[in-house]
Amino acid sequence: MRFLAVTETCDLGAVYLRLAAEGHEVRVAIEDIEAQGTLAGLVEHVANWRAELGWIREAGKDGIVIFEAVSEGLGALQDELRRDGYHVIGGSAFGDRLENDRAFAQEALAALGLQTARVREFTDIASADAFLASHPGRYVLKFSGSDHASSDNYVGQLEDGRDIRAMLAARLDIRNETPSRFILMDHVEGVEMGVGAYFDGNDFIRPACLDWEHKRFFPGDLGELTGEMGTVATFDRSQRFFSRTLARIAPLLRRHDHVGYVNLNTIVNEEGIWPLEFTCRFGYPGFAILDPLQRTGWAELFGMMAAPSGGRLHAAPGFSAGVVLTTPPFPYSRREIAEAVGLPILFSDRLDDEDRRHIHYGEVGLKDGQLVTTGLYGWTMVVTGTGLTVPEAKAAAYERIARITIPNMRYRGDIGDRLIQRDLARVESLGLLGDR
């Protein structure tokens, strides 16, 4: 098969390496100049993805274009390519809007009968401040659009909303800007829990997965909100939760010809399920954490998505725990902080083939035969472990991490702890998991 990856920063490098290792032809077009060292020497790079479309069309049904991002215009471009007869996996204009337009997503979920927290949308900071002054409370601040970092969002801590007001004022003072659109969502206490599945243009490929993310930079959920520091995921017992949440969006995705992975993040508590936000693309590091549980290979899965046939994903039982290994300037980018690339990545001789299958390269490349750090952010790699229980999966991941050396490497040491200590038992008590 032939795969053409259209990407801004090459987040799915581990997938492209898997495909190439299986003997498939892979070409990657990376837009961002700061990211063009990613996968250098490991996968073929091309300068202009449009010039490669003929190469894809020659392969017929075995030629697939993969889009990674939900930046403005990319979803509509994918829709156009599909109309032109190309097999395109990634998203759609509708999926882009679901992810980027937070107020729209909440309205869509409410229209489908899902329970949603109250949301107020604003286009200027002064109006939001006036609202907070007259309606004190605990809120979550989230910005719409694809050009905002995860660290821009803020989960309010104070019951009177003073910290949210201060954050908005600081943004205006420091950046001298008013974002075009943002929301204030009522804070909901509970367990944060996601559900995701691959959509083939007609329906979701089952089973869905369940996931529990760790977004804060430091252990104990301290520090900035990052894209992700680690996740625990499983395909087991997911049907009940999927049916009550993500499955209900399928008719809308079908109507808009969406093809790609879709995840819905929620808060669950004794009052029900509260949808928070969509990811309508292959999330990083989520795809890497699902990889060791997916007995269906990536090429076969992409084939099922490109030519729907009602196929089923074959998944291993148990849990996968994934830990993101980062290097500076993460959680920021080299646009804000001048950090050099090229740190050596070294492995213990005790790593066997199974261990290496659980190492998912992110922003890495080859320089003079040495694997080194590259890229824009410092998303260096993801290391996973699997087991029939969360403690087993966590232990396997951290045992592998102990055999990896990267100067200035940082990662959280508590991925899965909260789930082990209380959250999984609480989800179980709420009756949200299917039969064993």
Q: What DSSP line would sit under 226-275, residue for residue?
A: EEEEEEEEE-TT-HHHHHHTGGGGHHHHHHTT-EEEEEEEEEEETTEEEE
DSSP secondary structure string for all residues of 173-194:
HHH----S-EEEEE---SEEEE
CA angle (271, 273, 277) in 5-degree steps: 140
- Euclidean distance between CA atoms 306 and 201, whole angstroms: 8
Tally of helices (H runs) and strands (E runs) in the chain: 15, 21
169 contact partners, CB below 8 Å, separation of at least 6: 125, 129
- Euclidean distance between CA atoms 65 and 45, whole angstroms: 14
Amino acid at the residue 259 = V
Q: Indicate if the alpha-carbon torsion angle 143, 172, 216, 283 is positive or negative.
A: positive
- Euclidean distance between CA atoms 265 and 274, whole angstroms: 9
Give, to the nearest 10 degrees, the angle between helix 125-134 and helix 162-175: 160
Task: Confirm if 68 and 12 have CB atoms less than 8 A apart.
Answer: yes
pLDDT of amino acid 372: 97
Q: Where are the alpha helices (DSSP H) in 256-387?
A: 286-290, 298-306, 353-357
Question: Tens digit of pLDDT for each residue in 255-298?
Answer: 999 999 999 999 999 999 999 999 999 988 999 999 999 999 99
Give the position of tokens 């991490």. 401
Buried b (16+ CB within 10 A) or exposed e, 90-123: bbbbbbbbbbbbbbebbebbeeeebebeebbbbe
Omega before 285 cis (within 30°)?
A: yes
* Length in residues, the chain: 436
Question: Tens digit of pLDDT for each residue in 333-343?
Answer: 998 898 989 99
- Euclidean distance between CA atoms 395 and 168, whole angstroms: 41
pLDDT of amino acid 172: 66
Q: 336 vs 7, 9, 329, 332, 333, CA distance in Å? A: 21, 16, 8, 7, 6
Q: Residues 300-305: contacts with CB within 8 Å, 24+ apart? A: 301/198, 301/205, 302/1, 302/3, 302/64, 302/66, 302/89, 303/1, 303/61, 303/62, 303/64, 304/198, 304/200, 304/205, 305/89, 305/198, 305/199, 305/200, 305/201, 305/205, 305/259, 305/260
Task: Confirm if 274 and 245 have CB atoms less than 8 A apart.
Answer: no
Q: Which residues of the chain have pLDDT under 70?
A: 146-151, 172-179
Quick one: which of 36, 49, 103, 104 has its CA closest to 81?
49
CB atoms within 10 A of CB 384: 26
- C-alpha dihedral over 365, 366, 372, 375, to 10 degrees? -30
- Euclidean distance between CA atoms 324 and 221, whole angstroms: 15
pLDDT of amino acid 167: 86
Give the position of tokens 């995840």. 263
pLDDT of amino acid 379: 95
pTM of model > 0.85? yes
- Euclidean distance between CA atoms 275 and 98, whole angstroms: 12
Quick one: which of 170, 173, 161 has its CA closest to 131?
161
* H or E segment to which residue 323 belongs: strand 319-326
pLDDT of amino acid 154: 87
Paired with 261 in beta bridges are 198
